[in-house]
């Protein structure tokens, strides 16, 4: 155990040198040259920032899709001349009553792989919809709902679309290096480092931003209209349900300051279809009020002074420049296919992050010094070897964290400090074993050799158990706790390396050189 | 025989300490049943706010008063870390209002007459807290199962049983102490418990490893004497490692800031109990199970015969 081949030594020390290089590159500031570009990432809890977990509420979108299917079914039945007694949507189930003789027609149509109402999903080898038929006398009741894979498909397409729009909105706010990730079937994870106040982003993401232009109805047509509240007050307005032009047709929106009134406004541009529709609507309704509705709230309802033919317009309202900017941003990014709910939020201010780094560094330093002195006190010369091994261990640990660009969190720092405390264990196990061996074996080299050999199985078993904990924690823990699992796990690997290669080499060199002398441990 | 430096008859104390452990476990279970755990927002849902007031004359009663006015249901306010730092826990869950946090901040600043700085906000919905709870319990169960399995592979099943009894002992008592002191259980405490499981296992394995070695070596000595011998031989290592680990943990506890207090406290308790249990719980179980030289040699025969 005390002999090292030259090749092995070259390997060990070059590994240490390479990793020390990565380790120290963290402390070289403002040098982004290729050599020093790798740095440990600081977690949100250390650099400050916001973590948001959003859940897509697919319910309304699914209901809308089912409603569309009812309309399409009605058309199909009409074309195929199938008489139905009942066709409606109840609790997200489409219910149809047919004569028993017509169910065959329905079946044939519904299982046609090219039909548009119940498409076949090749990916899942399943139809989009499931149905069941129960016969009651001469009639059959057919119940249709989304199949398991149909739901997965629709949810994931809603999620993909939502991701796109969330990305646009977050990017436009211009925070540095946001992370936006898909989580499972209906969730979006957003990390916004350095963001002190997530309120603006939360507000932007909380809005679906469905915009439409509708006429204000003056009490003449009660059926086709509804009462909507204003966005900025509790006043209500009677607005027609018919959409003249919708936000889908917008291609640009920008905040402006009105030249005359000096008020903040939002100017917008329609695409060709939108411009045409808008021109038509404004030409035939001069003198009436046009309501601009966002997510069922009235933004403003100006009187149409003259036909607007160019496809450009502006929205006035009680805007501050900030709110006009945000509205323009929402209109530019487009409407979300489904509402988003924030189901988890964690925000840490930058000053707390700084305090945490300081506290972490101080406790690491103090823990380190205490352990180093204790080891020296216990083992003297070999204590120094254990201490050197501990220092190298720490450098390697930070080096690997840098190399894999791991995220360092506050619990992660705790993991490093804990590693300092537990890392000496391997050397303690070895030294204690050697002490025992030296009592029966008078030749130092043999005592050291057997000591190392016999301590091996205990060291391996002891470290693997801790490694198991770390691995489980890594896969099941979330956020900052994951950072703890990473440092703890890598700490175990570097500890084993240091004890078995670095410290063993130092020990063996010392013992070889002092073969004849009396070594005390 | 290779005499260790110390020669303590640990086996003389097994009965007494086993009794003590049993009482501690029963006490922990009772207190868990009747008092329950103080679950943090991670596992219960709700909002946690760490705030700092700029006006140093603000007192805790004014903050409570302000929250009472906001009508947010159960709100706990307590000092946290430095002067002027407070930790607020709101049980009410409001997911539909994006301006919830902002309105609290505005109301507080108005009532206290100075700027209030929100240093940390954690808002966890019921669905997420439920999932985190399940993941936490799963992690602890899985790690216990993994340990059981690992020891079973490396040693005999009697060893694996002894180790797992010691681990469950450590986990129950640590959680019991948290319940007794009403300390908050959050994600980092789960991490601490998993680490305790790893650490306690680590300690037990070192002793078990030595017991196995000695059982093979000495056929004339009783298992009780072998376990005493093995504990004595490894005692110095057990103490040194516990001390260095505790040095590191106390350093986190005292200087690592308020957020790591609970975590390091759990670890300190766990390391002490884990060290105790590897000597006074895991080892006697081997004796009770009637482990002898035969237990180990039989297994080796099997391997050779194969």
Min CA distance, B17 vs chain A (Å)? 25
Distance between CA atoms of residues A461 and A466, nearest Å: 9
Interface A-B, measured as beta-carbon pairs within 8 A, has a size of: 225
Distance between CA atoms of residues A434 and A456, nearest Å: 12
What part of B 2-61 touches A (C-beta under 8 Å)?
A: 2, 4, 50
User: pLDDT for A163-215, tens place per residue?
Assistant: 999 999 999 887 778 999 999 889 999 999 988 778 889 989 989 999 999 99
CB contact under 8 A, A428 and B99: no
The pLDDT value recorded for residue A210 is 92
User: pLDDT for A384-428, tens place per residue?
Assistant: 999 999 999 999 999 999 999 899 999 999 999 999 999 999 999
- Selected for mutation to probe chain B from A469, A483, A485 (highest B CB count within 10 Å) is A469
Per-residue burial over B233-269, b if 16 or more Cβ lie within 10 Å, else e, is: bbbbbbebbbbbbbbbbbbbbebbbbbbbbbbbbbbb
Residues spanned by CATH 1.20.1640.10 within chain B? Answer: 10-39+128-305
The pLDDT value recorded for residue B95 is 61
Nearby residues of A431 by Cβ (< 8 Å), 6 or more positions away = A379, A382, A386, A451, A521
For residues B193-204, average pLDDT: 92
Per-residue burial over A453-480, b if 16 or more Cβ lie within 10 Å, else e, is: ebbbbbbbbbbbbbbbbbbbbbebbbbb
Please provide the average confidence, as pLDDT, over all residues in chain A: 89
Question: Residue A30: pLDDT above 70?
Answer: no
CA-to-CA dists, residue A254 to A83, A266, A323, angstroms = 52, 6, 11
The pLDDT value recorded for residue A33 is 64
B263: nearest CB among A199, A414, A454: A414
Question: Residue B3: pLDDT above 70?
Answer: no
Asked if B264 reaches chain A (Cβ–Cβ under 8 Å), the answer is yes
For residues A10-19, average pLDDT: 94
- Cβ of A227: how many Cβ atoms within 10 Å? 8
Question: Residue A226: pLDDT above 70?
Answer: yes
* Lowest-confidence pick of A376-385, A440-449, B158-167, B186-195: A440-449
For residues A213-234, average pLDDT: 81
Distance between CA atoms of residues A159 and A58, nearest Å: 9
Please provide the average confidence, as pLDDT, over all residues in chain B: 91
- Tokens coding B267: 């670890």
User: pLDDT for A110-130, tens place per residue?
Assistant: 888 777 788 888 888 888 888
Which chain B residues are closer than 8 Å to A438 by Cβ?
A: none
User: pLDDT for B232-290, tens place per residue?
Assistant: 999 999 999 999 999 999 999 999 999 999 999 999 999 999 999 999 999 999 999 98
Residues spanned by CATH 3.30.70.3400 within chain B? Answer: 46-124
Three-state secondary structure call for residue B243: helix
B187: nearest CB among A468, A470, A481: A481
Distance between CA atoms of residues A23 and A247, nearest Å: 52
CB contact under 8 A, A344 and B128: yes
Positive or negative, the CA dihedral B302, B303, B305, B306 is positive
DSSP class of residue B35 equals: T
Min CA distance, B167 vs chain A (Å)? 12
The pLDDT value recorded for residue A233 is 85
Return the half-sphere exposure (C-beta side, CA atoms, 13 A cut-off) of residue A127. 17
* Beta partners for residue B86, in sequence order: B51, B79
Does the domain spanning B46-124 belong to CATH 3.30.70.3400?
A: yes
Q: Which residue has the tokens 């969190």?
A: A409
The pLDDT value recorded for residue A503 is 95
For residues B173-180, average pLDDT: 97
SS (H, E, C) A441-471: CCCHHHHHHHHHHHHHHHHHHHHHHHHHHHH
DSSP class of residue A216 equals: B
What part of B 163-192 touches A (C-beta under 8 Å)?
A: 187-188, 190-191
- Tokens coding A477: 């823990």
Question: Residue A31: pLDDT above 80?
Answer: no
* Beta partners for residue A121, in sequence order: A126
Q: What CATH architecture is B10-39+128-305?
A: Up-down Bundle (1.20)
Three-state secondary structure call for residue A262: coil
For residues B216-242, average pLDDT: 93
Three-state secondary structure call for residue A146: strand
Question: Residue B1: pLDDT above 50?
Answer: no
For residues B133-144, average pLDDT: 93
pLDDT band at A18 (very low <50, low <70, confident <90, very high): very high
% of chain A at pLDDT higher than 90: 56
Q: Label residue B38 exposed, middle or buried (CB < 10 Å: 0-12, 13-18, 19+).
A: middle
Per-residue burial over B66-101, b if 16 or more Cβ lie within 10 Å, else e, is: bbeeeebeebebeebbeebbbbbbbeebbbeebebb
The pLDDT value recorded for residue B166 is 97
Positive or negative, the CA dihedral A351, A353, A356, A357 is negative
The reply to whether ipTM tops 0.85 is yes
Identify the residue with better confidence: A299 or A109: A299
Asked if B160 reaches chain A (Cβ–Cβ under 8 Å), the answer is no
Min CA distance, A58 vs chain B (Å)? 15
% of chain B at pLDDT higher than 70: 94
Question: Residue B12: pLDDT above 80?
Answer: yes
Return the half-sphere exposure (C-beta side, CA atoms, 13 A cut-off) of residue A201. 30
- Cβ of A257: how many Cβ atoms within 10 Å? 11
The pLDDT value recorded for residue A481 is 87
């Amino acid at each position: 155990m005390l002999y090292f081949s030259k090749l092995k030594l070259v390997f060990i020390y070059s590994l240490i040198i390479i990793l020390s290089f990565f380790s120290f590159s963290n402390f070289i500031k403002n040098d982004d040259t290729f050599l020093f570009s790798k740095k440990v990432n600081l977690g949100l809890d250390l650099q400050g920032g916001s973590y948001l977990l959003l859940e897509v509420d697919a319910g309304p979108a699914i209901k809308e899709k089912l409603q569309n299917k009812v309309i399409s079914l009605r058309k199909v039945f009409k074309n195929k001349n199938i008489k139905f007694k009942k066709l409606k949507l109840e609790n997200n189930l489409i219910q149809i009553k047919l004569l028993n003789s017509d169910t065959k027609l329905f079946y044939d149509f519904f299982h046609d792989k090219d039909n548009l109402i119940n498409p076949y999903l090749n990916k899942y080898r399943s139809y989009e919809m499931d149905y069941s038929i129960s016969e009651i006398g001469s009639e059959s009741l057919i119940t249709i709902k989304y199949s398991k894979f149909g739901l997965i498909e629709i949810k994931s397409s809603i999620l993909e679309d939502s991701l796109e729009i969330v990305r646009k909105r977050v990017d436009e706010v211009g925070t540095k290096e946001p992370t936006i990730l898909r989580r499972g079937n209906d969730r979006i994870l957003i990390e916004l480092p350095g963001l002190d106040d997530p309120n603006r982003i939360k507000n932007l993401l909380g809005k679906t931003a469905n915009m439409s232009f509708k006429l204000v109805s003056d009490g003449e047509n009660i059926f086709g209209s509804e009462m909507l509240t204003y966005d900025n007050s509790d006043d209500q307005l009677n607005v027609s349900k018919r959409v003249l032009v919708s936000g889908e047709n917008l291609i640009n929106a920008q905040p402006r300051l009105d030249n005359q009134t000096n008020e903040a406004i939002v100017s917008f541009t329609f695409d060709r279809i939108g411009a045409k529709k808008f021109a038509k609507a404004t030409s035939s309704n001069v003198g009436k009020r046009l309501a601009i509705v966002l997510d069922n709230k009235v933004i403003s309802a100006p009187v149409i002074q003259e036909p607007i033919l160019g496809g450009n317009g502006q929205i006035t309202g009680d805007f501050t420049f900030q709110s006009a900017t945000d509205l323009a941003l929402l209109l530019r990014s487009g409407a979300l296919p489904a509402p988003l709910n924030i189901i988890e939020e964690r925000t840490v201010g930058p000053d707390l992050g700084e305090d945490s780094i300081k506290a972490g560094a101080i406790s690491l330093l103090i823990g380190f010094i205490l352990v180093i002195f204790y080891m020296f006190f216990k083992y003297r010369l070999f204590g120094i070897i254990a201490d050197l091994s501990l220092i190298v261990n720490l450098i390697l640990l930070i080096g690997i964290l840098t190399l894999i660009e791991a995220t360092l969190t506050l619990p992660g720092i705790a993991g490093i400090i804990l590693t300092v405390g537990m890392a000496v264990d391997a050397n303690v196990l070895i030294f204690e074993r050697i002490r025992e061996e030296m009592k029966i074996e008078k030749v130092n080299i043999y005592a050291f050799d057997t000591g190392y050999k016999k301590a091996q199985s205990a060291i391996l078993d002891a470290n693997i158990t801790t490694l198991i904990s770390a691995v489980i924690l890594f896969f099941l823990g979330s956020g900052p706790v994951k950072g703890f699992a990473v440092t703890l796990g890598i700490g175990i690997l570097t500890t084993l390396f240091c004890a078995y290669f670095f410290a063993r080499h130092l020990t063996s060199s010392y013992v070889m050189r002092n073969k004849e002398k009396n070594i005390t441990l | 025989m290779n005499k260790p430096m110390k020669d303590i008859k640990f086996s003389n104390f097994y009965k007494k300490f086993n009794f003590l452990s049993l009482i501690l476990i029963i006490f922990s279970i009772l207190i868990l049943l009747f008092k329950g755990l103080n679950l943090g927002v991670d596992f219960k849902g709700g909002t946690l706010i760490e705030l700092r007031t700029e006006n140093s004359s603000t007192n805790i009663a004014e903050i409570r008063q302000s929250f009472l006015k906001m009508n947010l249901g159960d709100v706990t306010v307590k000092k946290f870390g430095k002067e002027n730092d407070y930790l607020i826990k709101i049980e009410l869950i409001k997911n539909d209002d994006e301006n919830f946090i902002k309105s609290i901040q505005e109301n507080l600043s108005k009532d206290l007459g100075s700027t209030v700085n929100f240093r940390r906000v954690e808002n966890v919905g019921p669905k997420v807290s439920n999932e985190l709870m399940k993941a936490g319990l799963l992690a602890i169960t899985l790690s216990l199962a993994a340990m059981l399995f690992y020891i079973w592979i490396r040693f005999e099943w009697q060893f694996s049983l002894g180790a797992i009894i010691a681990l469950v002992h450590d986990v129950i008592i640590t959680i019991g102490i948290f319940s007794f002191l009403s300390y908050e259980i959050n994600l980092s405490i789960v991490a601490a418990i998993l680490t305790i499981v790893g650490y306690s296992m680590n300690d037990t394995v070192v002793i078990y490893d030595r017991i196995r070695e000695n059982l093979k070596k000495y056929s004339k000595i009783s298992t009780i004497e072998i376990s005493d011998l093995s504990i004595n031989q490894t005692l110095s290592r057990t103490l040194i490692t516990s001390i260095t680990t505790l040095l590191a943990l106390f350093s986190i506890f005292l200087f690592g800031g308020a957020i790591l207090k609970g975590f390091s406290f759990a670890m300190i308790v766990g390391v002490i109990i884990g060290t105790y249990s590897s000597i006074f719980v895991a080892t006697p179980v081997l004796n009770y199970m009637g482990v002898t030289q035969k237990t180990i040699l039989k297994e080796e025969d099997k391997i050779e015969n194969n």
